Structure 1
């Protein structure tokens, strides 16, 4: 969110969540659904892997 200069409220709105629901999920009180993760990645213009902190592996040929 910081890199995109988005507030939690803006991300929640764009991802179709309430601000409270997003807050609870970010604090670990509730679980993210696959739909939540996919929508958040779209809103932040990153891949789901990047959002989850997975590093991209380089293919060696």
Structure 2
């Protein structure tokens, strides 16, 4: 009986923690895509300006 209660408790805690971690990772991944997109945009605009004023 103790083994069953212990296993149930462990799996319940794991399910709760895994759900919270997944939400945080999704939030971070979404923000990282935005940040990388901004950096790529800035580099692209910089290249356009460089090529316009170079020639």
What is the TM-score normalised by the length of structure 2?
0.24
Larger Rg: 2
Higher relative contact order (CA closer than 8 Å, sequence separation 6+): 1
